C-alpha cells in the first residue's frame, strides 16, 4: 500500500515519537508493522454471554485479512451486558446503558490511539447499535460485522429458541408442564454459542446493518458457528484496507436519512424487535441526522410484513439462511419500492447492486410484498393521551389489534412480577409498569420476564402490558413499551390509577386512557415527582445525561467532530 499521511502517523512518525514506538515494539511490532496503517478491531470476546463467543475465530480472520492487505491490525475489546442473564432483576438497568458505554469506549480507543480504520463486531443485543454508533461517531473507514446467532434447539419434537425457556417458567408455575420438561427445555433451547435464534433484537439489528449498508452483504443470517463467517471476516479485513486507501466511503457518507429508512423498513418487514425504534434514532444522532420515533413509525406504517419469523411467526435465523439469507427480504423490498436501492454500501456499490441477484422469496419463511402476512409492518408506533410523544408495539402475531380493559398500576417491574407469579391479576387487566423509563429506572429495563410469565400462564391474549420501560425483541402479545414521556418526569402514565379505563387500538395506532382532560389536569396538579433511585455511581451519571425514547435515549448532542477531520 502506498504510504499516506495516515492518522496513526501522529503516534509512529518522527524522532520525538520514540517513546510511542517503544510501547508498540513491546507488543511485538517491528519497523515494517510500524510503517503500515493501524486498523482497530473491536469485539466483545469474553464469557459474559454466549452471544459474543463466536467473535473469537472471526476476529482472528478479520485481522488476517487486514494483514494480508497491508495493514497492522490492533485488537481491543469492550464491554457487553447479557440481556438474558440480566433479565428480570436490577442488573437489567445496565443493558441499555451499555450501548452508550460501547460507543464511548470505541470513540476513546479509536481517537485516543489514532487508529486509521475500524472493524467492529457485535453479538448480544446492545452491542450491535453500540458498535454502529461508535463507527458513525468516529467516522473513519469502518465495517460492522454481526457475530451470528445460535442454532435453534430441539426438545420433544419441537424447535426451540431461548424464548421457550422463559415461557416455560410460566407454564411450570401453572402446572401445565412438569419440572422435567422445564429442565429439558432449559438444557436444549440454546445448543450452541451465538445470539438468540429468533428475530429478536440481535438478529433484527443485524438485518438493519445490512439494509443500511454498514456491513458485508448477506452476512447477518449466517449462523454464528459456521466456518463461512471466517471467510466473510477475512474479506472484511481486505475491504476495510481498500476503503482506507480510497478514502471511503465513510460511515456518515453511507448513513443518510434514506439509509435509516431502509433500516426501519427491514424491521417492519420481518416483525423485528421494538428496540429498533430506539436504536435507529440513536445511530442517526451520531451523524447529526434528525430521525425520531415518528420517522421510524412512518416507515413501519407503510412497509408490509413479509417475514414469518419468531416470536410473532414460526421460523428462525437459520431458516432464513437456508433460503438465501437477509438478501431475500432486502431484494424483495427493493423491488416493491420499500427499500431505496440507490443507497450506498461499504463496498462503494449500491444496495441494489449488492442485492439485486438474491434469491426470490420462498413464500413461507419470506413472502412476496404482493402477498404479505400483513399489509403494514409487524411493529407499530402509537400515539394518544397516554403517549403523546409515542410508544411502540409489536403487532406481528397478534390475533386482535383492539383491547379495552382496566388499569392495574405497578410502580416498578418487581411489583408486577410478584402479582403475576401469584396470579393476582385477571383477564381484562391492563398491567401498567411505570417509573422504568430512561431516567426513572434508570436504564429502561426490558420486561421479557413478566411477559413470558403471562404467556406461559396462558394469559397472553387476555391482558395488556404497558410500560415506559422496554421490551425484549423476544416479547410477544399486547405489550406496549417506550411510552413517552416517561412517568418519572411527569408523563401521563404517572397520572393513572387502578381501575382507569384503558383503550388500545393498534390498528389505528392509538393508546388512550378514557378520561377527560379536566380529570387528567386535576391529577397533574396533585402529582409529585419521585426521588431518584440512584444518587451515585454509573447509573446516577446516566440518569443525569440520558434523553427520552423518541430521540433514541441518547446521552450527547450528536454529530461529534474530531480535529483530524478538518
Position 474 scores a pLDDT of 82
Q: Is the dihedral of CA 190, 191, 195, 197 positive or negative?
A: negative
Position 199 scores a pLDDT of 98
DSSP state of 361: P
Position 153 scores a pLDDT of 99
For residue range 388-443, what is the model confidence (pLDDT) as tens digits?
999 999 999 999 999 999 999 999 999 999 999 999 999 999 999 999 999 999 99
Share of the chain above pLDDT 90, in %: 96
Q: Are strands 402-410 and 501-505 parallel, antiparallel or unpaired?
A: antiparallel
- The answer to whether the peptide bond before residue 155 is cis (omega within 30 degrees of 0) is no
Catalytic option among 95, 149, 472, 484: 472
For residue range 138-160, what is the model confidence (pLDDT) as tens digits?
999 999 999 999 999 999 999 99
Residue 566: pLDDT band by 50, 70, 90 thresholds? very low
Average pLDDT, the chain: 97
d(CA 76, CA 112): 13
- H or E segment at 504? strand 501-505
Position 35 scores a pLDDT of 98
For residue range 59-88, what is the model confidence (pLDDT) as tens digits?
999 999 999 999 999 999 999 999 999 999
Residue 5: pLDDT band by 50, 70, 90 thresholds? confident
Residue 380 · residue 460 · CB < 8 Å: no
Residue 83 · residue 472 · CB < 8 Å: yes
For residue range 521-565, what is the model confidence (pLDDT) as tens digits?
999 999 999 999 999 999 999 999 999 999 999 999 999 999 865
Neighbours of 366 (CB within 10 A): 27
DSSP state of 14: S
Position 1 scores a pLDDT of 53
Position 3 scores a pLDDT of 56
105 is catalytic: no
For residue range 247-305, what is the model confidence (pLDDT) as tens digits?
999 999 999 999 999 999 999 999 999 999 999 999 999 999 999 999 999 999 999 99
Residue 113 · residue 11 · CB < 8 Å: yes
Following DSSP, what letter does each residue of 230-265 receive, concatenated? HHHHHHHHHHHHHHHHHT---HHHH--HHHHHHHHH
Share of the chain above pLDDT 70, in %: 99
d(CA 505, CA 163): 26
Q: Where are the beta strands (DSSP E) in 311-459?
A: 379-382, 390-394, 402-410, 429-433
Nearest 5°: phi and psi at 143? -135, 130
Amino acid at each position: 500500500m502506498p504510504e499516506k499521511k495516515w492518522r496513526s502517523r501522529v503516534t509512529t512518525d518522527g524522532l520525538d515519537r520514540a517513546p510511542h514506538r517503544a510501547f508498540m515494539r513491546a507488543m511485538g511490532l517491528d519497523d515494517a508493522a510500524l510503517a503500515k496503517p493501524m486498523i482497530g478491531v473491536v469485539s466483545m470476546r469474553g464469557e459474559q454471554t454466549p452471544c459474543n463467543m463466536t467473535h473469537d475465530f472471526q476476529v482472528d480472520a478479520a485481522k488476517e485479512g487486514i494483514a494480508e492487505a497491508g495493514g497492522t491490525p490492533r485488537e481491543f475489546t469492550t464491554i457487553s451486558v447479557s440481556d438474558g442473564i440480566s433479565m428480570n432483576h436490577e442488573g437489567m438497568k445496565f443493558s441499555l446503558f451499555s450501548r452508550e458505554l460501547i460507543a464511548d469506549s470505541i470513540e476513546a480507543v479509536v481517537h485516543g490511539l489514532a487508529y486509521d480504520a475500524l472493524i467492529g463486531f457485535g453479538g448480544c443485543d446492545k452491542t450491535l447499535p453500540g458498535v454502529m454508533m461508535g463507527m458513525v461517531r468516529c467516522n473513519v473507514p469502518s465495517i460492522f460485522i454481526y457475530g451470528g446467532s445460535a442454532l435453534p434447539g430441539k426438545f420433544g419434537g419441537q424447535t426451540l429458541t431461548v424464548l421457550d425457556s422463559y415461557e416455560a417458567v410460566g407454564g411450570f408455575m401453572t402446572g401445565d408442564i412438569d419440572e422435567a420438561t422445564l429442565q429439558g427445555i432449559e438444557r436444549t433451547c440454546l445448543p450452541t454459542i451465538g445470539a438468540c435464534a429468533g428475530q429478536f433484537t440481535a438478529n433484527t439489528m443485524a438485518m438493519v446493518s445490512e439494509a443500511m449498508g454498514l456491513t458485508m452483504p448477506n452476512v447477518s443470517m449466517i449462523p454464528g458457528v459456521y466456518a463461512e463467517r471466517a471467510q466473510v471476516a477475512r474479506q472484511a479485513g481486505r475491504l476495510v484496507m481498500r476503503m482506507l486507501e480510497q478514502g471511503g466511503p465513510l460511515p456518515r457518507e453511507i448513513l443518510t436519512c434514506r439509509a435509516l429508512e431502509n433500516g426501519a423498513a427491514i424491521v417492519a418487514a420481518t416483525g423485528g424487535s421494538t428496540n429498533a425504534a430506539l436504536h435507529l434514532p440513536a445511530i442517526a444522532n451520531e451523524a447529526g441526522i434528525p430521525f425520531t420515533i415518528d420517522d421510524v413509525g412512518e416507515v413501519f406504517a407503510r412497509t408490509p410484513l413479509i417475514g414469518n419469523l419468531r416470536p410473532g411467526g414460526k421460523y428462525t435465523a437459520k431458516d432464513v439462511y437456508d433460503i438465501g439469507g437477509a438478501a431475500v427480504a432486502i431484494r424483495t423490498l427493493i423491488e416493491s419500492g420499500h427499500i431505496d436501492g440507490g443507497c450506498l454500501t461499504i463496498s462503494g456499490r449500491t444496495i441494489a447492486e449488492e442485492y439485486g441477484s438474491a434469491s426470490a422469496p420462498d413464500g413461507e419463511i419470506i413472502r412476496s410484498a404482493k402477498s404479505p402476512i400483513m399489509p403494514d409492518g409487524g411493529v407499530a408506533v402509537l400515539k394518544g393521551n397516554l403517549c403523546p410523544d409515542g410508544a411502540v408495539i409489536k403487532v406481528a402475531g397478534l390475533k386482535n389489534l383492539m383491547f379495552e380493559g382496566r388499569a392495574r398500576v405497578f410502580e416498578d417491574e418487581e411489583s408486577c412480577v410478584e402479582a403475576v407469579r401469584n396470579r393476582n391479576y385477571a383477564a381484562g387487566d391492563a398491567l401498567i409498569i411505570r417509573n422504568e423509563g430512561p431516567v426513572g429506572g434508570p436504564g429502561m429495563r426490558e420486561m421479557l420476564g413478566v411477559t413470558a410469565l403471562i404467556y406461559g400462564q396462558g394469559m397472553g391474549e387476555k391482558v395488556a402490558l404497558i410500560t415506559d420501560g422496554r421490551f425484549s425483541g423476544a416479547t410477544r402479545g399486547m405489550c406496549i413499551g417506550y411510552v413517552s414521556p416517561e412517568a418519572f418526569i411527569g408523563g401521563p402514565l404517572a397520572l393513572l390509577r387502578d381501575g382507569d379505563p384503558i383503550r388500545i387500538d393498534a390498528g389505528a395506532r392509538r393508546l388512550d386512557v378514557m378520561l377527560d382532560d379536566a380529570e387528567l389536569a386535576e391529577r397533574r396538579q396533585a402529582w409529585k415527582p419521585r426521588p431518584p433511585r440512584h444518587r451515585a455511581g454509573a447509573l446516577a451519571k446516566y440518569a443525569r445525561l440520558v434523553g427520552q425514547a423518541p430521540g433514541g435515549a441518547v446521552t450527547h448532542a450528536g454529530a461529534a467532530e474530531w480535529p483530524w477531520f478538518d
